[in-house]
A and B are shown apart, each in its own frame.
Chain A
Amino acid sequence: MENNGSVILETKSIKKSFGGVKALVDGSFSCRQGEIVGLLGANGSGKTTFSKIIMGLLHSDAGEIYIEGQPVHFRSPMDAMRQGIVMVHQQLSLIPDLTVWENINLGHEPRTKIGALDDETARRKAAEVINRLAPGLSLDRVVKTLLPSEQQLVEIAKALSKGGKLLILDEPTAALEQTQVNRLFEIMRELKSQGTTIIFISHRLGEVLEICDYVVVFRNGANVGTVRFEKDGRDENRIVSLITGKEESGQQNGAKDRIRSEEARLEARHLSAGMLKEISFTAHRGEIIGIGGLQGQGQEDLLLMLAGMIHLEKGELRVNGKPVKFHHPADAIRHGVVLVPGDRQKEGLFLNHSLFMNVIYARFGLRGDWLIPFKRLREEVKQVVSTLSIRTESLETEMQNLSGGNQQKVVVGKWLPLKPQVLLLSDPAKGVDVQAKRELYDLIRDLARRGTSVILYASDNEELVSHCDRIFVLYEGQIVEELAGAEITEDNLVAASLRATVKQSA
């Protein structure tokens, strides 16, 4: 079926540079009414820059934009919104001190006849979207107290409640788990049937194949091709080779080829803190342990607790057989227990400091490590940048000027030179592109092979299933089931997560 709706958006060779960095060299694109278009590309290929230009948040250096055939020059997001263009931002555009419902209505508050804020209507409007997208989320929560995934849902809800003819979703699913993604897709399909056009950006190919009509691929700031599913089929390899620019062999190197060791690295005995109750397990040398379950069952808290960010109320923790007490994250780091946090902007990075500084800050938790000459550190940082293929202009580039996926690589990469004993990962591949994700997990597996034990939480079940030796299913702060060996499949994991709910409520 060739879509014969009218062309909603057309762009012609948009260019944009930041200083010496060419973010977009040929941003050409077009889409019609009622289509869902996937916009794909490696980290730093210019997807966000392109979207922001359409939104009027950035100004292009050259090129033309047409909305329904009319040339437009948006000077600010207000101009774009007036034309019915709405965007979900990769770096969320939420107001931390306002509540969920205030955020959802921000910028288009309903008013009473006398011009006052009509909070009742505003709440009702917010409730409508939230009930569909994130049932159970309280409208009165202050946004800064929400989990990353909940914040992401609020960001999406905000865009949906604005309505509009063109919806740009910049990695809306990076922090979401399957059920949440399904809810979003249901709404997207409905919008599509009502004639809304959607540009969907994601690094999760499975999602793109499921929801999109066709995909457009950007590489190094240029449109390098379109794959129409109707015509070309849902050919994953073809898309991946467009993204990477290399021939795709199709073989996945997910082999769990490590030798199991019985040497205990991290032992948790009856740990309790906050919502976590009686957590006991042993992580062996070289083992990769996954933490699964529905979202918000204490997975993130568990990692925070092991990293010394949440204080233990009860229980005992041992590292390499020795009992330890973590009062501060620094204590954990000194014992080789390091965390890649889930909220990179808040806990993982100094956004206005350079890439170089961000990588070496990881060392500051270590005693006696303050006098290493910068020259040697520079070599080390260069190593990190090249192992993770971080796309940056230089080591001095400010963190906030890196693309989202490249920022994420830094959060993980800064720990590599320290050769951690226990690596705690909270959604480490969030927003990381296909190839880099593979490289990242290769690296994690490599660390494990050399003796690090890894505890991994990922919102994407596929990541857990393909990389973990064992998976613990969490429900309401307790480990309710353990999957190992051949039991580890996506179906089993989903079933186990749901079973937990049934078992507990029965």
Chain B
Amino acid sequence: MNIVNQLKNISRKPEFPSVIILITVIALNAALQKNFFAVNVINVNLLTFTPLILISIGQAVIILGGGLDLSVGTQVSLINVIMAVLMKDAGDNHAAVIPGFLAAMIAALGMGFVNGFTAGYLNLPPMIATFATSAIWYGLALLILPSPGGAIPTWLVKGFSWKYSLISMPLIVIVLAYLLWVFVRRRPLGRYIYAVGSNEAAAYANGVNTRRVKLYSYILGSFFVMLGGFAITFQAASGDARLGLSYTLTSIAAVVVGGIALKGGSGNVIGAVFGAIILNMVINLIYFANIPSEYQEFTKGAIIILALALAVVYRRRESKSLAIS
């Protein structure tokens, strides 16, 4: 009886369909890719998945708070070029990378602040506001590094791919990032992010400082995006202003596949993690299924639509049956 109830509760969770999809793509991947479960294959996969996972966590926090960030991709680009330019001559001098990290962090929090300010205090619609800021970040990135270049010291690149059996640097970063969200979720700010995302006017009437909550959700989101930017940068080992562009829409897709409502206020951040892994695995699948290259994009799109449809249709059914029962 208890177990039945627990199962029922699990199946009610908004990220439930994404878990099912995740299991399915893992099974398909395992069938197609030899040694899928070998330790080093898992580590390599995780390494390549890390940027999208971290960026999607950031996007999820912002969307949960009723916002949307179309600038995460160019935020990643700006962070990448800042680091590649400032760390280019660091060599083996460990202290010499500090300015690069500091500048990247200041830039990330600054970009979060600007986005949060336009959405929270100026009350501009986030879709347009962050579309505009995304152009600004991109412009800045191009100014700093007009054509691909710069470099990241090898010891940093190696350090990021450090691993011991299944414990690897990317895994540690993802876990720490998620724990940071858990920390926030366990504070009033976490509750308020959901409240503002669900019904801003009501939250305001209850004495919640809704502007500040929105501001913080963007800053926090940008912090996770920054971690994603680090991950990409350590893999690319150089700078390119175009590097982040594709992450914007992919991260939104990951969030929705993960069962988070685009209108905000419902869903769990862990769903975005699942969503990001799913989308990455789909790309793997296409690669290993030997699909001719001219069909790859087409197939990718079709699979994403399918995953989205599953996630969204399930949500709708759930909320309908809840409303009537």
Q: What is A's interface to B at a CB cutoff of 8 Å?
A: 55, 57, 76-78, 81, 87, 89, 92-98, 102, 106-109, 111, 115-117, 142, 144-145, 158, 274, 301, 310
Contacts and interface: CB of A to CB of B under 8 A. Distances in A.
7 contacts: A92-B202, A95-B195, A96-B199, A98-B194, A106-B195, A117-B190, A301-B324
A107 B199 contact: no
A77 B205 CA distance: 6
A95 B205 CA distance: 11
B61 to A, nearest CB: 15
Given A76-B207, A107-B207, 14 more contacts: A57-B205, A76-B204, A92-B202, A93-B201, A95-B199, A106-B191, A107-B206, A111-B188, A116-B187, A117-B190, A145-B322, A145-B325, A274-B325, A310-B324
Nearest to B196: A95
B202 A274 contact: no
B208 interface: yes
B186 interface: yes
- Dominant SS at the A interface? loop
A117 B182 CA distance: 12
A28 B86 CA distance: 65
Contacts of B319: 144
Contacts of A106: 191, 195, 203, 206, 208
**Contact residues on B (Cβ < 8 Å of other chain), bracket:** 20 to 34
Contact of B188 (A117, A142, A145): A117
Contacts of B207: 76-78, 81, 107-108
Contact of B198 (A55, A77, A92, A95): A95
Contacts of A109: 188, 191
Contacts of A81: 207
Nearest to B325: A274
Contacts of A301: 324
B4 interface: no
B322 A116 contact: no
B116 interface: no
A48 to B, nearest CB: 12
A310 B188 CA distance: 38
Nearest to B206: A107
Contacts of B11: none
A207 to B, nearest CB: 24
Contacts of A95: 194-195, 198-199, 202-203, 265
B191 A93 contact: no
Contacts of A97: 194, 197-198, 265-266
A94 B205 CA distance: 9
Interface string B264-301: 01100000000000000000000000000000000000
Interface centre among B205, B265, B325 (most CB of A within 10 A): B205
B323 interface: yes
A225 B266 CA distance: 47
Interface in B7-21: none
Interface centre among B194, B197, B199, B207 (most CB of A within 10 A): B207
B209 interface: yes
A46 B123 CA distance: 28
A400 B322 CA distance: 27
Nearest to A155: B202
A116 B324 CA distance: 35
Contacts of A142: 322
B77 to A, nearest CB: 34
A55 B188 CA distance: 22
A144 B198 CA distance: 10
Interface in B299-325: 319, 322-325
Contacts of B323: 144-145
Given A81-B207, A145-B323, A94 B187 contact: no
Contact of A94 (B194, B202, B204, B209): B202
Contacts of A108: 207
Contacts of B199: 94-96
Contacts of A78: 207, 209
Contacts of B201: 93
B206 A96 contact: no
Nearest to B266: A97
A117 B186 contact: yes
A98 B198 contact: yes
B265 to A, nearest CB: 4
Interface centre among A93, A96, A107, A158 (most CB of B within 10 A): A107
A57 B204 CA distance: 9
Nearest to A77: B207
Nearest to A110: B188
Contacts of A145: 322-323, 325
A102 B266 contact: no
Nearest to B195: A95
Contacts of A93: 201-202, 205-206
Interface in B236-278: 265-266
A92 B202 CA distance: 8
Contacts of A274: 324-325
A96 B198 contact: yes
A50 to B, nearest CB: 16
Question: Which 8 pairs of residues, A with B, have the shortest CB-CB distance?
Answer: A93-B205, A97-B198, A107-B206, A107-B207, A93-B202, A97-B265, A97-B266, A116-B186
A96 B208 CA distance: 15
Nearest to A105: B191
Contacts of B324: 274, 301, 310
Contacts of A96: 198-199, 265
Contacts of A76: 204, 207, 209
Nearest to A80: B207
Interface string B176-191: 0000000000111011
